[in-house]
Structure 1
């Protein structure tokens, strides 16, 4: 059984709520609120940078493989803000069509941009895939068998490790999933209890679980990659109503959860309480050295490492074996009910 364990809370300066979170590094994220503030913050909650012309208050920004911010501006253009020189470039120019971008996601595997769009006059939505230069290369809109519209109002979007495109659709009250080619796979509308779903922020973790904020039950719900409900984190018991923003850090394996309740973000670790003595290290591969498992944990940097990383950039740091550290910490965690 999976449980969420609260590790830390961070109060963020410069925003009034936490509607969307985009990870840059393990200690830096972009966070936006309902008022259109978009700020770069660290794990102390300090404002490091800000953007003033953001358009979508939902999943309207993402970070690419070079740590550049990509966001939808107030004119519905999609811009890139370079981390290196702060230069802003328009990647996709809005052409005054009835389709308005609502959410954007940069694929770590391909570098493509997935953009969720909607049009008010017909209450329909679609997902458009662009390459890194802004060329339209795919449109996902209709069920591949029935021909029916897949989306109404896609407000958050992400991609799973198997290439699935995962969308929070606010008007359909569903999480809608298609494969990489745009073929419909499934929709998730809530746990077996039938409590319904009001989906907001969405992300996936290192084991291809799907995590979605549910405004209705004040929880973050975890599904497997096939859409089966596994567990939920009740954020209300930690003083957070209506969870919205969600981001998973693949280096620290922490889940960042924000809400429209206030400007404090909770960081959770989701653990499998049925597996207390072993951690599947082979499932976690290093980004810099893909053939190497993340077998060590750097104490001062708070990141998981492979042996190659230790020899190159963490040579004199205090590192611990991940499996041993996992077992030690596990005995100190109190699972949430």
Structure 2
């Protein structure tokens, strides 16, 4: 069953990638012997060939090449309504990553492969722990890499430039060149609009005596600068030492800051809330951060050595992990939106643990509902 499930996932991912590129999608259909399409509907002459002519596949491809497939809000709500949290976490898999001593950060590629980093080492592994690719000229002490919608790796190299590795792992190019004293610390590619979110910081003043300054910059996926987010309001800084950055499904920007805790802003940059821990416990010292399909925010805490779960308005929900579950010092998190599995990296070993705490729920109120939910 597991083998068949993974096989279905691979076909689904391949289909979705093709479906988001109309030309490739229609070419794919043509290769599978799609019957010749004849015009049977009333269409304007400005858009379609004459009604007396057959519509050729190449003409159809040309006419539909501008189509883009997007998820509507209604579809998102429907998907979320089918999900629920379970009371006990279930260990799905344990992956040992050879060549590292801890897992600083995880970037999801597909359901069977992820990028894992430790300081200057960035490794692509599959669910069996096999090393598929290895980079060393990187600065991944924290959240220094991400994967875009084209499955291309974006990472911060040692000199502060942002590099892009092609999805076949053969070509490296410079996407954003560092030109100031600001040094990028973490990066994230938005699956919503493709924008890049890059948090940077520097010490203003002599070493040991200066103060930290930090900001978040938005870039187009092509590397063109768009916007800077730096202050809550005039005179009040938003960040001190941002270490990890991600985005919630509602568009909120989520940052893990060693001093400020979890800092959340709207897409526009307006500050929504900051979460600094769950009283009466000590202040949060956050590391890796992610969000799940239910809009919950998960953050690793270096003090309590567990994972805090809060809702999308900053209210504490629960501690997600305990030492009994095999998580000793959680460092990094990555949530898979397709399988609803949570990947967790530890600070004290070379393992990535994969857990399930969200499952699909189905309504059995009628045969039709049962059939619909089964098909979905």
TM normalised by structure 1 equals 0.78
Counterpart-to-counterpart distance in 1, 2:362 and 2:342: 18
Counterpart-to-counterpart distance in 2, 1:222 and 1:237: 18
Q: Is the Cα contact below 8 Å between 1:248 and 1:256 reproduced in 2?
A: yes
Query: Runs of at least 4 residues of structure 1 off by over 6 A?
Result: none
1:244, CA displacement in angstroms?
A: 0.8
Give the 3 Å change call, closer, same or farther, for CA 3–129 of structure 1 in structure 2: farther
Counterpart-to-counterpart distance in 1, 2:361 and 2:224: 45
1:278, CA displacement in angstroms?
A: 3.6
Specify which of 168, 177, 184 is matched with residue 84 of structure 1: 168
Specify which of 185, 189, 203 is matched with residue 272 of structure 2: 185
TM normalised by structure 2 equals 0.70
- 2:225 maps to 1:136: yes
Counterpart-to-counterpart distance in 2, 1:39 and 1:14: 9
Structure 2 residue matching 1:234: 3-state secondary structure: coil
- 2:197 maps to 1:108: no
Counterpart-to-counterpart distance in 1, 2:146 and 2:313: 25
Aligned to 2:243: 155
Aligned to 1:286: none
Considering Cα pairs closer than 8 Å and 6+ residues apart, tell me whether 1 or 2 has the greater RCO: 1
Structure 2 residue matching 1:152: 3-state secondary structure: coil
Specify which of 316, 329, 332 is matched with residue 245 of structure 1: 332
Give the 3 Å change call, closer, same or farther, for CA 270–89 of structure 1 in structure 2: same
1:51-70 map, 5 Å: 51-70=135-154
Aligned to 2:351: 264
Counterpart-to-counterpart distance in 2, 1:279 and 1:118: 47
1:61, CA displacement in angstroms?
A: 0.1
Give the 3 Å change call, closer, same or farther, for CA 268–85 of structure 1 in structure 2: closer
User: Can you give the 5+ residue segments of structure 2 that lack an aligned partner in the other structure?
Assistant: 1-84, 205-210, 364-371
Aligned to 1:331: none
Select the structure of larger CA radius of gyration. 2
Aligned to 1:299: none
Counterpart-to-counterpart distance in 2, 1:75 and 1:279: 51
Q: Is the Cα contact below 8 Å between 1:3 and 1:271 reproduced in 2?
A: no
Aligned to 1:15: 100
Specify which of 111, 114, 139 is matched with residue 26 of structure 1: 111
- 2:287 maps to 1:200: yes
Counterpart-to-counterpart distance in 1, 2:104 and 2:267: 27
Q: Is the Cα contact below 8 Å between 2:241 and 2:259 reproduced in 1?
A: yes
1:192, CA displacement in angstroms?
A: 3.2
Q: Is the Cα contact below 8 Å between 1:247 and 1:255 reproduced in 2?
A: yes
Structure 1 residue matching 2:323: 3-state secondary structure: helix
**Count of residues paired in the alignment:** 278
Q: Is the Cα contact below 8 Å between 2:257 and 2:263 reproduced in 1?
A: yes
Aligned to 2:252: 164
Counterpart-to-counterpart distance in 2, 1:240 and 1:126: 32
1:124-158 Cα distance to aligned partner (Å, 9 max, x none): 211100001211111110013x5400100111000
Aligned to 2:52: none
Aligned to 2:132: 48
Structure 1 residue matching 2:320: 3-state secondary structure: strand
1:241-282 Cα distance to aligned partner (Å, 9 max, x none): 32111100111101000111000111111148xxxx9459xx
Counterpart-to-counterpart distance in 2, 1:105 and 1:253: 20
Counterpart-to-counterpart distance in 2, 1:127 and 1:227: 20
